[in-house]
Amino acid sequence: MTVQPNSVEARDQAYQLHSYTNARALERDGALVIDRGEGVYVYDNNGKRYIEAMSGLWSVAVGFGEQRLVDAAVRQMSILPYYHTFTGRTHGPSVDLAAKLIQMAPVPMSKVYFTNSGSEANDTAMKIVWYRSNALGKPEKKKIISRVKGYHGVTIASASLTGLPNNHRSFDLPLSNVLHTTCPHYRVFAQEGETEEDFVARCARDLEDLILKEGPETVAAFIGEPVMGAGGVIVPPAGYWNAIQAVLRKYDILLIADEVICGFGRTGEMFGTTTFGLQPDIITVSKQLSSSYQPISALLINERVYAPLADESAKIGTFGHGFTASGHPVAAAVALENLAIIEERDLVGNVRELSSLFIKRLKALEAHPLAVEARGVGLIGALELHPRDGFTAGQLGPKFAALMLDKGVIGRAIGDSIALCPPLIVDEQQINTIFDTFEASLDAFAKEIGAV
């Protein structure tokens, strides 16, 4: 791409460091500038339209340009543009949103704590777990178990929970109190001749063996996404979560459900917790909470977590944790309106109605010579491409995603898998367009790399 002097692309190259980007490649190639959005579509600064089949970053449930969310932000901005929730202060939007989340919770929850991103929510969950252990007089019970390929954020603590190598390399991570157990990706991690049922049993055994090796008295919590998103859209085999939870109950270990991607309808239920039968003690949410129109996230904690925390805060004199923008009134107001839209328009019902088409079209791509596996549930899925001679691992995915982008559909390369996660407002015609483009891109890519 030729970058014109003083263009937004040139100024971006000059001044901005990007997330999840090869900085030297960006210096050479420049960035794609998105100017505006409408429904499931976004437009670049040259006027080209794309179907945003990743909902931005797994997050724009109600689509782009939703006027009700704009109006909610303007109303709240004109009344109370900012206030905090430190030192016993509060305001209506944060109270209303906390009450709404408790009412919506898939399992009984006691309190809501607001943060600003999924990373901050999971970071805070880790601190709360440690705080609780100290409150219970168990200072040795601090270790948290995550999973290989799990994704939980990018702060020092949440990146440690994340089980992806590039989130650790050169950052001196993970922290020592974080452990990782088997990823529930059957095709990749199953042993020869192992059935799915046997694989599930081994995942549970691996977890129990790790707990026993470390000492059950040292392990405080297990964190997992109902469906692993940024690790490649990995849907656990049947019975996996029941087996894992049985181990956690046996050793009195808390369960943290990371619903940052799955929450608010993505899997065909309001929460992935319901889809997969989880009974978490802590739930973290973000993204579709406000459709990412405003940065906001939250932790829902049950009484088992809250009561010791409250007692410890009384003993110390304060709960010494907080963010300037926790429960920000504008973000909370937008989130409330966003949740109202999800419910009023039955967007979870739309996911259920269209899921069969989405999964059918996705699974049909497995027959393509370039494909090795399709994975998905609800309106989230991924197609993994076959490794090929001449390409190192992780090279095919970005090249294919760039080809699909050129054809007007935005997906996301996760290694050599291409993820899809369209807004919950997507319709049948748009899903078919996404997959028609996907299929045409596979054919074109096969010719380009000499695979046909």
What integer is the mean pLDDT of 259-275?
A: 98
Query: What 3-state class would DSSP assign to 1?
Result: coil
What integer is the mean pLDDT of 31-45?
A: 97
Fold match flag (32-62+346-448 vs 69-344): no
Per-residue confidence (pLDDT) for residue 332, from 0 to 100: 98
pTM of the model: 0.96
Per-residue confidence (pLDDT) for residue 388, from 0 to 100: 83
**Percent of the chain residues past pLDDT 90, beyond the cut:** 95
Distance, in Å, from the CA atom of 342 to the CA atom of 345, rounded to the nearest integer, reads 6
Distance, in Å, from the CA atom of 105 to the CA atom of 98, rounded to the nearest integer, reads 11
What residues contact residue 114 under an 8 Å CB cut-off, 6+ apart? 85, 94, 97, 98, 296, 297, 298, 326, 327, 328, 332
- As a CATH number, domain 32-62+346-448 is 3.90.1150.10
| Higher pLDDT among residues 395 and 178, named by residue | 178
The pLDDT tens digits for 182-205 are: 999 999 999 999 999 999 999 999
Per-residue confidence (pLDDT) for residue 143, from 0 to 100: 98
What integer is the mean pLDDT of 223-231?
A: 97
Q: What is the DSSP string of 128-170?
A: HHHHHHHHTT-TT--EEEEETT----SSHHHHHH---GGGTTT
Domain spans of the chain, in order of start: 32-62+346-448, 69-344
pLDDT at 1 over 70: no
What integer is the mean pLDDT of 403-427?
A: 97
420-443 as b/e: b if 16+ CB within 10 A: bbbbbbbeeebbebbbebbeebbe
pLDDT at 208 over 80: yes
What integer is the mean pLDDT of 163-175?
A: 96
pLDDT at 2 over 80: no
Per-residue confidence (pLDDT) for residue 391, from 0 to 100: 84
Per-residue confidence (pLDDT) for residue 250, from 0 to 100: 98
Confidence of residue 54 (pLDDT cuts 50, 70, 90): very high
Per-residue confidence (pLDDT) for residue 452, from 0 to 100: 64
Helices and strands: H and E segment counts in the chain: 16, 15
State the architecture of 69-344 in CATH terms. 3-Layer(aba) Sandwich (3.40)
Per-residue confidence (pLDDT) for residue 389, from 0 to 100: 79
